[in-house]
Copies of this chain bind each other. A is one copy, B any other.
């Protein structure tokens, strides 16, 4: 299996080494062959090539079976022109590879749940999978421009039936292998695109009689995530609503630094990255939490390579380390041992032996 590594910016560079070591350990143990190729993206690519997504990076990703990304962005590139900002690299690679489904599992670790901003009884038992459409909607619709000599600005929210169908199918398929409940989030009382979305969900629902479907307006969903997170199973929604709701959900468990994400398409190729950002303030200090990217690597094994056992092994190893009390500076565990990036990685590797 050909894996492209895109460390990107800030702590992305340090934690990528951790993920690579874990994947190598798994390859050795289970006799798989993974080859790795490193390429530039984001600010790193701007520094080296003047643009956030060089053609050679796109090429390499197009030939890969899966891609692992660290993080992009940082204040260093805040002043570059909007067209070549680091984030454009991320948006560009999603679009270039057609990675239309962003999977964001929200699942707390027992040892860390005490750090949730929510009361224990509210967050307990929550296990949510947010599926966000990633290559359509306001992010890519045209026209997107200034008008009237720059005195007005327009963006376009456009969805085609095909775009909605494939993401909604992903939602139903995912619900089917989880707890058979799908919440479709839209703003059908205001948006035409949401009304098309809702119609398609209703149509598809007939093909999945075993899955219970609920429609929720995005404003109501933003409330319910806080008041009753444990009542969700799978949530499927369009690009911008998914951006907002998945970030909202990511703080509920109290350990954002642990959360992985996957951006996939139908043939299994996918890009995997931790939810946390490039954290420029702590970059290079050796204290970054590598568990988010390690768990992203586990998602890669599961979703792109079909290696569910190996994925579970990594997840158990991470859980075991936390139960032992190992944690990085961003997490707190009572009577635990605070460690740096390398020690945390070694602790995980120890469990994989």
Contacts and interface: CB of A to CB of B under 8 A. Distances in A.
Interface of A: 82, 85, 87, 91, 117-119, 122, 138-139, 141, 144-146, 148, 150-161, 187, 189-193, 195-197, 218-220, 222-223, 225-227, 240-241, 243-248, 250-252, 256
A141 B154 contact: yes
Contacts of A252: 226
Contacts of A218: 243-244
Contacts of A241: 244
Given A222-B248, A247-B220, A192 B153 contact: yes
Given A219-B247, A226-B248, A248-B223, A192 B119 contact: no
Given A151-B160, A223-B248, 15 more contacts: A91-B190, A117-B118, A117-B122, A138-B190, A138-B191, A148-B160, A152-B160, A153-B158, A153-B159, A157-B157, A219-B243, A219-B244, A219-B247, A223-B247, A241-B244
Contacts of A146: 192, 196
B187 A240 contact: yes
20 contacts: A119-B119, A138-B157, A139-B190, A141-B154, A150-B196, A151-B161, A152-B158, A153-B192, A153-B193, A153-B196, A154-B156, A154-B157, A154-B158, A155-B192, A156-B157, A219-B246, A220-B247, A223-B251, A226-B248, A227-B251
Contacts of A157: 138, 154-157
Nearest to A250: B223
Contacts of A187: 240, 243
A309 B238 CA distance: 46
